[in-house]
Structure 1
Amino acid sequence: MTVALIVTRPDSEKWQWFTVPVALEEGYERYWLPATAAVWLPLFQTGCPVEAKDFPAVTRELLTLRG
């Protein structure tokens, strides 16, 4: 299985949604989750909606993985 972002665009007639693969399930559990004191990342495994106002917090979590 893979962990992926599903981006929805309700305001667009051409692209209602698209997916962005993020990681394989095993790599996500083994490397991503332990690498950060995350709030959002554990929710992504089972799925959760993220509104535009939450993007800065999600982005900060993802950037901690780069370090």
Structure 2
Amino acid sequence: MSVAILIEFKESTREGLYLPLSTQGAYSGEWVPASKALGLSWLPLFLTGTSVDVEDLPAVVAELRLLRSALVGVPSRASTVERLDFVLERLGAVEPDEIDRIFIG
């Protein structure tokens, strides 16, 4: 199993966006402890999954950036930083007013 961001768009003909974050084990063992150590509130919720309001997406992106900043330069976390870079790039290309629903988990 994995933890991923699932975005559905308002336009019914537009394909949804699926952004895998991590395997369930890696998320539980790496992402959640690091997120809690940083005092982040959204990222730990994604282990079990939750809906995210479009208005809260900037807060989620901010937490992803904080996690990335904390992991940069840690050799054992290089692949996680690469994944965060990919996810942040893809999320940056999405217009919030085009989003219908977001589920992360």
Q: Which has the larger radius of gyration?
A: 2
**Deviation of residue 2 (structure 1)?**
0.5
What is aligned with 1:7? Answer: 7
Superposition deviation, residue 25 in structure 1: 0.8
Normalised by the length of structure 1, the TM-score is 0.82
Q: Which amino acid aligns with 1:3?
A: V
Q: Work out the CA distance in 2 between the residues paired with 1:13 and 1:55.
A: 21
Structure with bigger RCO (C-alpha 8 Å, 6+ apart):
2
| Identity between Structure 1 and Structure 2 (%) | 36
- 2:34 aligned residue: 35
Cα RMSD for the two superposed structures = 1.4
Deviation at 1:56, TM superposition (A): 1.5
Runs of 4+ in 1 over 2 A off after TM superposition: 15-18
Unpaired runs of 5+ residues, structure 1, are none
Deviation at 1:53, TM superposition (A): 0.9
Secondary structure, aligned partner of 1:6: strand
The number of residue pairs the alignment matches comes to 66
Match of 1:50 in 2: 52
Q: Within 2, Cα distance between the matches of 1:17 and 1:64? A: 26
